[in-house]
Amino acid sequence: MVNINQMNETQQVLNMINNLLSNIGSDRQNLSLEINNFLECSKETNKNQEVVDSILLQLQKINEQMENMTWLNKHYKILHDFAQVCSKTLDEHTLLKKAYEMVSQVMATDAFYIALYTEGDTHIHFALMVDHGKFYPKEIVEFGDNYTSMVINSREIIHQKKAPQSAIFSESATFGENATSACLFVPVIIDGHVKGVISAQSYSDFAYRTEHEELLQIIGTQVINSIETARLYEQIYKMSQTDELTGLKNHRAFHEDLSKLISESNQEIILVMIDSDNLKKVNDNYGHDIGDLYLQVIANGIKMISNSNIEGYRYAGDEFMILITADLPHGIEALYEGLKEYYVQNPIYVSNHQINVSFSTGVATYPYHGSSVDSLKKSADNALYVAKKQGKNKLVISQKVEKNEDKQNDNMFFI
């Protein structure tokens, strides 16, 4: 038989648990206070204390999880907006800055940084660093006495809730003007590899909760994933514009670059078209491997004269292009002579045979010899034809004509 007192105690316990369940997901401090009061009351009245304690512990865990979910759901729109940004841009600076703006909306960011890391590397790349709204230049830091290195090595979050009693790190491990108190250092782990660290920091103690750690992980993963995608795209794009044999830009890059220069610039653009004189003979006599080497020597000469205003391209086969966007101090003739001298100094040797590079050159200038890619290219090609006809290994420069004669390239004169 169950006596009245036991029934009353059981009902009391059930009523208290029911009350606690109704408050699940509400403020954590209030619920914890209720649980503590319940524990104090139940110590004297409840004979099944172990069961009660277990129930209360589970309730507390459920409450924390529910509260975390409620907090994250509140900020779902921010995460959604950031995902939209990541899907629409391949610009690293935009991605990094937007990540900072998003995090700033939901937590204290008196200081903030995103560091990128490649496993096995001895350096950490700090791609974004902000202190009190001031953006600092990118920096590369060696592994050492800093929280970022600790997080990468341990693969675990470091949550510093208030300022440490003593400084354990060197000054080189810090940036900004003022010391922060509460700090979150969150590793970004993608496919089992540590890809970087994202950190939010505050001047105030106890500024962050578990929910902030989770949000940083989500945003950190999104931004670093997007940066890796952008870099992969850039690498693929660069490969699509690079000639594999010579390392020069290719036919596609030439047309894109010249089109862009013509559309965006009012300045003169010099187009130099180069064609080797002896490639077929080299291939026939020595094989295509030596023919490839011949092309590489031509490309190396073009690289030698290249700078920020001079860009070289392997256009097709043994035909090369050079675009010049600045005045040449000593004229195109001096550039041509410099190329010739390079090839004289760098012959190809096959057994006891010496192979010298010989090339013919045609030159045309925008806008005098063409106002479009095709017309300018045709003028340079006509000049190149004359150079070949004159006995090869020559330079021919298109004569200056009036702009309204641009479409009559067949009537060009050359000197």
21 token code pair: 């369940």
Query: Around 392, how many Cα atoms within 13 Å sit in the side-chain half-sphere?
Result: 8
Q: Are residues 310 and 185 in the same domain?
A: no
| SS3 call for 119 | coil
pLDDT of 328-341, one tens digit each?
877 899 999 999 99
pTM confidence score: 0.63
- Higher local confidence (pLDDT), 73 or 154: 154
Q: Which of 130-144, 223-237, 311-325 has the highest mean pLDDT?
A: 311-325
Residue with tokens 């902000």: 130
Query: For 230-237, which contacts have Cβ atoms below 8 Å and span 24 or more sequence positions?
Result: 230/89, 230/90, 230/91, 230/92, 230/95, 231/92, 233/90, 234/90
What residue numbers bound the domain in which 65 lies? 4-74
83 found inside a domain: no
Residue with tokens 């409620």: 70
120 found inside a domain: yes
Instruction: Please provide the size of the chain in residues.
Output: 415
* Torsion, CA 129, CA 133, CA 136, CA 140, rounded to 10: -10
245 found inside a domain: no
9's CB contacts (< 8 A; 6+ apart) are: 45, 46, 47
Q: Which of 49-63, 82-96, 158-172, 373-387 has the highest mean pLDDT?
A: 373-387
Q: Is 123 exposed, middle or buried (0-12, 13-18, 19+ CB in 10 A)?
A: exposed
pLDDT at 193 over 70: yes
pLDDT for 87: 80
Alpha-carbon distance values, 349 to 233, 284, 303, 413 (Å): 40, 16, 21, 39
pLDDT for 80: 76
81 found inside a domain: no
Give Cα 254 to chain centroid, integer Å: 25
pLDDT class of 409 with cuts at 50, 70, 90: very low
84 found inside a domain: no
Range with the poorest average pLDDT among 20-34, 112-126, 153-167: 20-34
Domain boundary among 47, 74, 101: 74
Number of domains in the chain: 3
Residue 298 burial (CB count, 10 A): 25
pLDDT of 278-307, one tens digit each?
899 999 999 999 999 999 999 999 999 999
pLDDT at 64 over 80: no
Q: Are residues 159 and 206 in the same domain?
A: yes
Strand order in the sheet with 310-316: 310-316, 319-324, 269-276, 359-366, 395-397
pLDDT of 32-58, one tens digit each?
565 566 655 655 555 556 666 676 677
User: At 276, which helix (H) or strand (E)?
Assistant: strand 269-276
Give Cα 188 to chain centroid, integer Å: 16
pLDDT for 411: 32
pLDDT class of 410 with cuts at 50, 70, 90: very low
Domain with residue 293: its CATH number is 3.30.70.270
Please provide residue 315's backbone torsions phi and psi, each rounded to the nearest 5 degrees: -80, -50
Are 188 and 217 within 8 A, CB to CB?
yes
23 found inside a domain: yes
Domain boundary among 238, 261, 281: 238
End-to-end CA distance of the chain: 122
- Higher local confidence (pLDDT), 324 or 18: 324
387 token code pair: 């150079």
Q: Are residues 233 and 296 in the same domain?
A: no
79 found inside a domain: no
pLDDT class of 175 with cuts at 50, 70, 90: confident
pLDDT at 358 over 60: yes
Q: By C-alpha distance, which of 372, 371, 305 is closest to 338? A: 305
Domain with residue 184: its CATH number is 3.30.450.40
Q: Are residues 153 and 220 in the same domain?
A: yes
pLDDT class of 180 with cuts at 50, 70, 90: confident
Range with the poorest average pLDDT among 78-82, 122-126, 354-358: 78-82
pLDDT of 221-253, one tens digit each?
999 999 998 899 888 988 999 999 999 999 999
Distance from C-alpha of 295 to C-alpha of 360, rounded to nearest angstrom: 14
pLDDT of 378-398, one tens digit each?
999 999 999 999 888 899 998
Q: What is the mean pLDDT of the chain?
A: 83
Q: Are residues 137 and 199 in the same domain?
A: yes
Distance from C-alpha of 2 to C-alpha of 156, rounded to nearest angstrom: 52
pLDDT for 352: 86
| SS3 call for 235 | helix
101's CB contacts (< 8 A; 6+ apart) are: none
Q: By C-alpha distance, which of 405, 367, 360 is closest to 383? A: 360
pLDDT for 215: 86
pLDDT class of 172 with cuts at 50, 70, 90: low
Q: Which amino acid belongs to residue 281? A: K
Q: Are residues 150 and 219 in the same domain?
A: yes
